Amino acid sequence: MSKGNGQDIKAKLIPKKKRKPKQTFLSTGSTLLNLAMADRLHGGFAQGHYYLFVGDSESGKTFLALTCLAEATKDPKFDNHRLIYDDVEGGALMDIRKFFGKGVANRLEPPAIEHAANSHSAVHSQSIEDFYYHIDDALRDGRPFVYILDSEDALTSDQERTKFDKNKTAHRKGKEEAGSYGDGKAKINSANIRRVVSDLKGTQSILIIINQTRDNLGFGFKRKTRSGGHALVFYACASLWATVKGKLTRNVKGKQRQIGIQVGVKVEKNRVTGKSREITLPIFYSYGVDDITSCIEHLLLEDHWKKSGQTIVAPEFDFKGSMEKLVHLVEQDGLQKDLHHLVADVWSEIEAACIVERPPRYG
Q: State the virtual CA torsion across 97, 46, 78, 283 in degrees, nearest 10.
A: 20
Task: Find, among 285, 259, 194, the residue nearest to 232 by Cα.
Answer: 194
Is pLDDT larger for residue 117 or for residue 135? 135
Q: Rounded to whole angstroms, what are the CA distances from 34 to 3, 14, 77, 213, 329?
A: 17, 18, 17, 23, 23
Domain spans of the chain? Answer: 47-236
> CB under 8 Å to 204, separation ≥6 — which residues?
24, 47, 48, 144
pLDDT score recorded for residue 303? 98
Q: Angle formed by the axes of helices 96-107 and 61-74, to 10°?
A: 50
310: closest CA among 321, 326, 301, 319? 321
- Residue pLDDT, tens place only, 84-93: 999 997 766 7
Structure confidence by residue, pLDDT tens digits, 215-228: 654 444 355 777 78
CA distance 293 to 253: 25
317 versus 15: which is more confidently predicted? 317
Which of residues 163 and 268 earns the better pLDDT score?
268
Mean pLDDT check: name the lowest of 156-160, 272-276, 285-289. 156-160
Q: Lowest mean pLDDT of 235-239, 313-317, 358-362, name the range.
A: 358-362
- Cβ neighbour number for residue 243 with a 10 Å cutoff: 17
> 181-206: per-residue pLDDT in tens?
556 899 999 999 999 999 999 999 99
Instruction: Name the pLDDT band for 118 (thresholds 50, 70, 90).
Output: confident
Q: Domain 47-236 in CATH: superfamily?
A: P-loop containing nucleotide triphosphate hydrolases (3.40.50.300)
% of the chain at pLDDT higher than 70: 88
Kindly indicate the confidence band of residue 23, based on its pLDDT and cuts at 50, 70 and 90: confident
